[in-house]
Amino acid sequence: MEITSRWRLIRHGPATGAYNMAVDEAVGRAVAEGAATPTLRFYAWAPPCISLGRHQALASVDTARCAALGYDVVRRPTGGRAILHTNELTYSIAARPEHPLMAGMVLDSYLRLSHGLVAGLQQLGIPAEEAPGTNRAGRDVSAACFEVPSAYEIVAGGRKLLGSAQTRRADYVLQHGSLPLTGDLSRLVDCLTFASEEEREALRLSLAERATTVEGITGRSVSLAEAAGALAAGFRSALNIELVESELSPAEQAWAEQLMHEKYLNAAWTNFR
């Protein structure tokens, strides 16, 4: 099969939420300027972190409770709802908007990239599939990302397994997503605000019924390295791309440090809603 594109593959260990978001944006900037090829990056989070969607109200998160639990809070550059990042593998993809995999509208690229995610998860023995393209988040949807799969997000055994979010700029597209490997997904509920405790417990039950983890499907522990390797293989085979192991350039590292301090650690960004 002919290779359609050569991509950069970056594997990072755990880092803070602010740094992870800053690196994603720095990579997008490098891709936009032609200083980097399209990039697939894998990473994790430490300490655990609540990430808010770009337009989600900060008031939906109990920041005092997060602090008491030792969780960071960061606002993503992408849309969607709150996620508790812990015991998970995160992927991010940055490419120019005219790249064949990114062409068209948001859902067009979502579907193409989901083919790679599904192929990777199947390498782990997971019967993954894309949610129907007709799925939409309603106005009454909760603040938790993993309660309901949106169009083309990944489900397994009828439950949401991998959630993604995307932002499209004039000169690059950034998509990232969260694959929970193990643990109790309802832990997020303790960090959200509710009108009543009844609403809190209802969401806790809903997440238990509608979302799952890699361990919940496979019945075994899957490491970050194994999960990243499987997803990388899925992207290679399903999207017909070549992945070349690499690292951040000095310019990207400098941009990431600047973005972390000036944007993602800045209360004006976190609290803007």
Nearest Cα neighbor of 46 from 90, 81, 79 is: 90
Q: Which two tokens stand for residue 73?
A: 């809070």
Q: Which residue among the candidates 49, 66, 145, 191 is catalytic per the annotation?
A: 145
Q: At residue 75, what is the residue type?
A: R
C-alpha to C-alpha distance for 164 and 92, rounded to whole angstroms: 9
Q: Which two tokens stand for residue 42?
A: 């894998």
Residue 131 CA neighbour count, 13 Å, CB half? 24
Residue 22 CA neighbour count, 13 Å, CB half? 22
Q: Is 49 a catalytic residue?
A: no
**49-52 vs 72-75, strand pairing mode:** parallel
Q: Which helix (H) or strand (E) holds 267?
A: helix 267-270
Q: Which residues contact 94 (CB under 8 A, 6 or more apart)?
A: 24, 27, 28, 30, 31, 36, 38, 39, 41, 172, 173, 174
Helix, strand counts (H, E) of the chain: 8, 11
DSSP 126-192: --EEEPPTT----TT--SBGGGS--TT-EEETTEEEEEEEEEE-SS-EEEEEEEE-SS-GGGGGGGB
Catalytic residues: 145
